[in-house]
Amino acid sequence: MGGETADAAASALKDLVQRHGEALSIELQAHQRKTFAPESEKTIRPFAPAEAARLLGIHESYLRQVAAGDKAGASAQKGARRSYSVQDISDLRHALDQGARGNRRYLPHRGGDEHLQVVTVMNFKGGSGKTTTAAHLSQHLALHGYRVLAIDLDPQASLSALFGHQPETMVGPNETLYGAIRYDEARRPIAEIVRGTYIPELHLIPANLELMEFEHDTPKALMGRREGDTLFFARIGQAIAQAQNLYDVVVIDCPPQLGYLTLSALTAATAVLITVHPQMLDVMSMSQFLQMTGDLLDEVSRHGASTSYDWMRYLVTRFEPGDGPQNQMVAFLRSIFGEHVLIHPMLKSTAISDAGLTNQTIFEVERQQFTRATYDRALESVTNVSAEIEGQIRKAWGRA
Ligand SMILES: Nc1ncnc2c1ncn2[C@@H]1O[C@H](COP(=O)(O)OP(=O)(O)OP(=O)(O)O)[C@@H](O)[C@H]1O
Ligand SMILES: [Mg+2]
């Protein structure tokens, strides 16, 4: 009798959840269509001359001169240009590089002895700022001339959505990283999965719920394992290795779990970035996360995985400088972790959260949407954080 009631309740819940899931999906798709038409490719705003010059690392007057001589200048109106597209900036970068005879000042691509940097952004605390960090870091690096592959490893696909690739409508079967790491014959080369974005130097592997399959497949694969099979923790590294000559930096946005996907990303990584919101509950959760990660790394290294890293840093996210308890928490973290906490925190800013609401980053939103001070403060914070991480990457390559 009790079993029957329980069954009825379970089937009622199943129906309810299914109905709610469908209703929500329809409404969300309608919302997306309003935000941007399905066929319209997402674009990035043009950059003002001062911004373009800063990205290229040259003076504005020199930019004007170079642009006049370059094909990017051809579309310029008579007199000074008002703006530069990301494609213009990329073209100018190549033109400057030719002039500089490839001394890597303008095109910072890695050389033969500099290994691919694979940066995983992780923490199992939901909402700690992983996706926001991964998106801005990837765009910052690409806008500065690095060849970047951003991998969305979260079945929730927030990074993909932020980059304009809607997981439900624009990412089909076998079009996530799962396609390149799956255990069966449907596995395909990673090159077939990579997509371009509106920034020429930035590529994306999008996510959707299909990635969850890896969490389900792995226990089965472990049981039916044959000699020579690649174990789960080595699979992401192996997939990335197929494309390593095409990129300087790979940025992986992890899901807020310590599952097989995250562990495999951690094994593929050359560097680890742990995002932490400076509040007691978040820091307590991170403490557990660190202990579990330590144990799991211990386990996979016993099975032959490499677990040495070029660098590991904590990034303080959504930081409010006027908040006393947050400042105490940051001081506490610095006292324990020392130089492992990045000097620059990511400031909490309505410019960043509002941009996120329309699936945009601070590089994409129009500055006029915000007061100038709000926008500039957010951009400065993102730039400081990303530049500090860029510094870690360059140090790992042995550059100044
Ligand atoms: N610096 C910031 N200022 C204001 N809002 C922010 C900032 N960073 C992140 N947010 C907002 O906080 C929320 C969570 O951020 P985000 O999605 O980056 O976290 P996450 O760690 O990736 O979450 P999840 O664990 O669910 O993947 C988002 O709504 C985002 O817009
Ligand atoms: Mg996320």
pLDDT for residue 75: 47
Q: What distance in Å separates the CA atoms of residue 135 and residue 138, rounded to the nearest whole number?
A: 5
Ligand 1 atom nearest to CA at 154:
27
Centre of ligand 2 to C-alpha 125, Å, is 10
Phi, psi of 137 (to 5 degrees): -65, -45
Q: Does the beta carbon of 345 sit less than 6 angstroms from any atom of ligand 1? A: no
As a whole number of angstroms, the distance between CA 193 and CA 83 comes to 33
Cα 209 to ligand 2 centre (Å): 14
Report how far residue 72's alpha carbon sits from residue 373's, in angstroms, rounded to the nearest whole number: 31
Nearest partner of 359 among 18, 91, 34, 19, judged by Cα: 34
Neighbouring residues of 123: CB distance < 8 A, sequence distance ≥ 6: 130, 254, 256, 274, 275, 276, 286, 289
Strands 249-253, 117-122: parallel, antiparallel or unpaired by DSSP? parallel
85 lines ligand 1 (CB under 6 A): no
Q: Whose CA is nearest to atom 2 of ligand 1?
A: 348
Q: Does 126 contact ligand 1 (Cβ within 6 A)?
A: yes
Query: Tokens representing 378?
Result: 């957010």
Q: How far away, in angstroms, is 53 Cα from ligand 1 center?
A: 29
Beta-sheet pairing, 249-253 with 148-152: parallel
What's the 186 CA to ligand 2 centre distance in angstroms?
A: 27
Separation of 353 CA from ligand 2 center, angstroms? 13
What b/e string do you get for 321-358 counting C-beta neighbours within 10 Å, with b at 16 or more? eeeeebeebbeebeeeeeeebbebbbbbbebbebbbee
Query: Looking at residues 76-98, what average pLDDT do you find?
Result: 82
Instruction: Name the CATH topology of 117-396.
Output: Rossmann fold (3.40.50)
Residue pair 35/359 in contact by the 8 Å Cβ criterion: yes
pLDDT for position 228:
79
Point out the ligand nearest to the CA of residue 358: 1
Question: Which stretch, 12-21, 157-166, 224-233, 292-301, has highest mean pLDDT?
Answer: 157-166
CB 190 within 8 A of CB 205: yes
Nearest CA to ligand 1 atom 3: 348
- Looking at the chain, the whole-number percentage of residues with pLDDT higher than 70 is 93
The predicted-structure confidence for 20-73, as pLDDT tens digits, reads as follows 878 887 777 777 666 655 545 677 889 999 999 999 999 999 999 888 876 554
pLDDT of residue 71: 52
Ligand 1 within 6 A of CB of 317: yes
Instruction: Identify the sign of the CA torsion 28, 33, 35, 40.
Output: positive
207-231 pLDDT per residue, tens:
999 999 999 999 999 888 888 788 8
Q: Say if residues 286 and 325 touch (Cβ distance below 8 Å).
A: no
Amino acid at 30: A
Nearest CA to ligand 1 atom 23: 127
What band does 175 get if pLDDT is binned at 50, 70 and 90?
A: very high
For residue range 350-387, what is the model confidence (pLDDT) as tens digits?
Answer: 999 999 998 999 999 988 889 999 999 999 999 999 99
Task: Tell me if 352 CB under 6 Å of ligand 1.
Answer: yes
Which residues lie near ion ligand 2 (Cβ < 5 Å)?
130-131, 158
**Structural domain boundaries in the chain:** 49-99, 117-396
From 250, 153, 129, select the one nearest 206 (Cα to Cα): 153
Structure tokens at 224: 């039916």
127 lines ligand 1 (CB under 6 A): yes
What residue type is assigned to position 94 of the chain? H
